[in-house]
Chain A
Amino acid sequence: MVATPSTTTRRIEPVEDVRKRAMLLAALYIAQEQYGWLNDEAIRRVAERLDLTVGQVKSTASFYTMFKLQPQGKYRIQVCEGLSCYLVGGAEPIINYVAEKLGIRPGETTPDGRFTLEVVQCLAACGTAPAIKVNDDLYENMTLSAIDQLLERLQQER
């Protein structure tokens, strides 16, 4: 059913529909974990479960940077390019270093599917900058030699 604009009056969508749509971000996280990324099948299944259109699901999924509409490497190296990281030697020097070591540019995945390099905005770790994240784990006070050790460990992990 059509909602009245939220700017003029209280919306009149049935509560059940509203509550179902509110589960969309959580559902997308679950689908992404199952499929590795949000491919067409993942999007379609989420839409079916929540009684939404594929368009509604895609419009939300494509808005948020943590939802991936492309295949991702096993380890997503997310390097912060925030001002606080830059001021203490982070951002480009670290981005470029990781890019060179892995032989890929930001946004790309290594051919073996192991690493994706991603440039991200402030990770709220400015007091312990430079900061990077690998998947869900935060690494603080990073140096180039710490990057070496980290990549070496991830390279060996199965």
Chain B
Amino acid sequence: MFEPILTRNIYRPNSEKIYTYLANGGYEAVRLALTKSPDELIDMVKRSGLRGRGGAGFPAGVKWGFMPKEADVPKIVAVNTDEGEPGTFKDREIVERDPHQVIEGVIIASYAVGAHRAYVYIRGEFFLGVKRWIKAIADAYEHGFLGKNILGSGFDLDMSVHRGAGAYICGEETAMLESLEGKPGNPRLKPPYPAQVGLFGYPTLVHNIETLACIPHIILRGPEWFASIGTAESKGPKIFSVSGHVNKPGNYELPLGTTIGEIIYEHAGGIRGGKKLKAVIPGGASTPVLTAEHVDVPMAFETLAAVGSQLGTGAMIVMDETTCMVEVARRLTKFFAHESCGRCVPCRLGSRRLYEILERIERGKGKPADIDLALELAREIDGLTFCPMGSALVNPARSTIKHFRSEYDFHITHKKCWVGNQIH
């Protein structure tokens, strides 16, 4: 039986309070980390095998190593709580129920890369999360974990909270930096990466909060312990958000590498109403859909890539046999069309044209050539934009055509839906 690590506190009463956190070993990792050298800490995170939990899966220790070493260059840590990937609700739970775990990770990361300023960016819609962040940071200052000379170590760190205002794209790291600077959230062209030119032009380390929440545990229990959890290329625990047609939707913390089937049937209570599983989106709306044949695939970076999908945020949207996959693709594409920041033409216009094609197929007005037209359009968008959203937005259409092409054909030939034989 796997013991929860990141979610071990969240079901305690008053789990968000600093006294609850302190009573359960909180801030011990900061004490320990401040006795080590920054290079030792970077090495520990590298050896742990921790990869980013926000979607891209970049090795965290390598990212820390990219930050310049010069002491006279001001550096910044930016904390991404802009959770907006449809299907994902883990970060909201972490920040509402255990914000100090993240603050501890921020302090250690800041000390390791030599940053004295940390900015939290949180989704504007997360009103309770904003309040919890503000209170937790104030309490951390009061207890001497933030501010000047933290725990007598000589290390200073200031931290503040900034609300977003409703834009999915601001979860992309460079768009988030633009938004923190008070601008529209248009992603920047990379390189330079934030570690070179980040917030206000200063080198910036950007992390998702689930990634930061792993840090205190790696420091306290050791990188070897962390690396013993998971698979060859995906180490540590992961919070899987499960939603859709399951009996017990919710967040489940399990080792990376737990299979899709185990999560659905043993943890999320199986499919509602005794129906059959049809499809799963494994890592949030931007990851390619998989089918019931993939239940034995482990939820890990490399295993999902091997079957043509991605781990993303680890948010599983589960769909039963009554689901129309053309409609799923159409709905998700509508989301991306709505959220395109508009800077890159392939994304701005391509998402809308793709949506229109899917909509007419779904309504029984599609032509046989429309499926290939959609695929051709997807090729013209994928990889041709500043940020990863271009590649993300083609995934729903492309992956549903790949696995469920017969449903598209049925819509076009019979001018109605496969499921329930009706026009949606």
With A66-B166, A83-B332, A87-B245 in contact, do A122 and B192 touch (Cβ < 8 Å)? no
A7-B188, A25-B179, A83-B285 known; A122 and B87 CB under 8 Å?
A: yes
- On whether the beta carbons of B249 and A129 are closer than 8 Å, the reply is yes
Q: How far is the CA of A111 from the CA of B188 in the complex (A)?
A: 43
Cβ-defined contact, A124 with B166, below 8 A: no
Name the residue on A nearest B185 (C-beta): A63
What mask results when residues 76 to 108 of chain B are scored 1 for a CB within 8 Å of chain A, else 0?
Answer: 000000011111110110000000000000000
Interface check B57, CB cutoff 8 A:
no
Interface segment, one of B26-34, B157-165, B256-264:
B157-165
Q: Which of A10-18, A95-103, A150-158 contacts B (4 or more CB under 8 A)?
A: A10-18
With A64-B166, A87-B323, A125-B89 given, is the CB distance from A22 to B338 under 8 Å? no
Count of CB-CB pairs between chains A and B under 8 Å: 149
Distance of B82 from chain A, by nearest CB (Å): 10
Cα distance A143–B333 when bound, in Å?
26
**B181:A22 contact, CB within 8 angstroms:** yes
Does B25 interact with chain A (Cβ within 8 Å)?
Answer: no
Are B164 and A124 in contact, with the CB atoms below 8 A?
no
Stretch at the interface among B14-22, B119-127, B368-376: B119-127
Given A59-B184, A87-B323, verify A82-B86 contact (CB < 8 Å).
yes
Which of B3-11, B236-244, B356-364, B407-415 is found at the contact surface with chain A?
A: B236-244
A23–B162 alpha-carbon span in the complex (Å): 9
Q: Does B13 contact A (CB under 8 A)?
A: no
Kindly report which residue of chain B lies nearest to residue A7, judged by CB atoms: B189
Q: CB < 8 Å: which of B88, B166, B180 contacts A65?
A: B166
3 interchain residue pairs of minimum CB distance: A24-B182, A64-B165, A126-B243
User: Which residues of A come within 8 Å of B, CB atoms?
Assistant: 6-7, 9-13, 15, 18-19, 21-26, 28-29, 50, 59-60, 63-67, 81-84, 86-88, 120-129, 133, 136-138
Can you list 16 A-B contacts (CB < 8 A)?
Answer: A10-B201, A60-B184, A63-B185, A67-B165, A82-B335, A83-B317, A83-B328, A84-B244, A87-B243, A121-B84, A121-B339, A122-B85, A122-B335, A124-B84, A124-B92, A124-B126
